[in-house]
Amino acid sequence: MANGHGIEDEPIYGGQPVDASGIDPSEAIADRTLEYTDTHHEIAQHSVFDEPGYTISADQDQPRLIDRPWHCLNCDYNLQGCHVGQPCPECGHIQYDRPIRHGELGYASWLQYKAAQVSAIQSWLFLAVLAFVSGPLAIVGTLWQTVQVQSGLDVFGLLGVIMIAPMIEEIMKVLAIALVAELKPYWVCTPGQIVICAALSGLGFAVIENAMYLLVYINHPTPAIIAWRWSVCVALHVGCSTIVGTGVANVWQRTMLTAQRPQVPFQLNRLTLAIIIHASYNALATLLELAGVFQ
């Protein structure tokens, strides 16, 4: 309470009319701006809800028609004439990737821009380093196999030697180049580079594995064992890595031709074939060892 009057004596609370003659003009404008009316409510609604980002237009509500060649990532069927999100007529795979609209910067533009910045020399040097480091990455499979052999070749040991080790080794030998083909395909100039890189990775792995077996794990290896490891084993690892490398090269080539993101880093059928060949060799070598051929 001030000067004998409280807030309840203010004209606005007493229902008395307010004398606007002494109000500053700028305050009067503010008062009119803040006054709540149906008109102001209507303007506020339209100022937000009529924005393009907040509305769904008729064309946005409808599935977009694919008006150019656009291949299914699962079966390579041409989806031109289908709608985005519609199951593939050939295999039923639902694909949400779409061709970019005119003026948009999509995956194709990014890929073309990045590829233009990598020279052939840079590409070969990068893949040479990649091949050099890829072989040692697969040694984890050899370590697994060695532990299982030293455990006595029981049921679980045989399973590790014949099945687990081949899967680990074949995946690890091409893992680096497969990741490059999927995430950084612009570092590769030709599909042959991928195959060569995979083969060199298998060769590097075979050299390290032979050194481990002949110098560490096998006491006084015979000339026959040395010849076997440097011929059959090297051919096995190089051949299997090359098989998987051709699958990676196919995925890379398709990515560059269609300018679409690769769905998987390599073709699983090529990887499966390499694992089967490797597992068959391990089974044969295990039987020969149990029969005393290598003694």
Taking only the tens place, the pLDDT of each residue in 143-198 is: 655 555 555 556 666 777 788 888 888 999 999 999 999 899 999 999 999 999 99
Question: What is the pLDDT, as a whole number, of residue 59?
Answer: 45
Of the candidates 79, 60, 59, the residue with the CA atom closest to the CA atom of residue 69: 79
Q: What DSSP designation does 185 have?
A: G
Question: What is the pLDDT, as a whole number, of residue 216?
Answer: 84
Q: How far is CA 90 from CA 77, 108, 255, in A?
A: 7, 25, 20
Of the candidates 176, 281, 293, the residue with the CA atom closest to the CA atom of residue 237: 281
Residue 292 gets the label, from left (phi > 0), alpha (psi -120 to 50) or beta, of left
Residues ≥6 apart with Cβ < 8 Å to 193: 123, 124, 127
Question: What is the pLDDT, as a whole number, of residue 213?
Answer: 85
Question: What is the pLDDT, as a whole number, of residue 241?
Answer: 96
Domain segments of the chain as ranges: 110-290
Residues 254, 260: Cα–Cα separation, whole Å:
8
At residue 153, what are phi and psi to the nearest 5 degrees?
Answer: 55, 50
> Is this prediction's pTM over 0.75?
no
Of the candidates 249, 110, 143, the residue with the CA atom closest to the CA atom of residue 188: 249
Spans in the chain with pLDDT lower than 50: 29-36, 40-41, 43-61
Question: What is the pLDDT, as a whole number, of residue 147?
Answer: 57
Question: What is the pLDDT, as a whole number, of residue 52?
Answer: 41
**Burial per residue of 259-281, b for 16 or more beta-carbon CB atoms within 10 angstroms, e otherwise:** bbebeebbbeebbebbbebbbeb
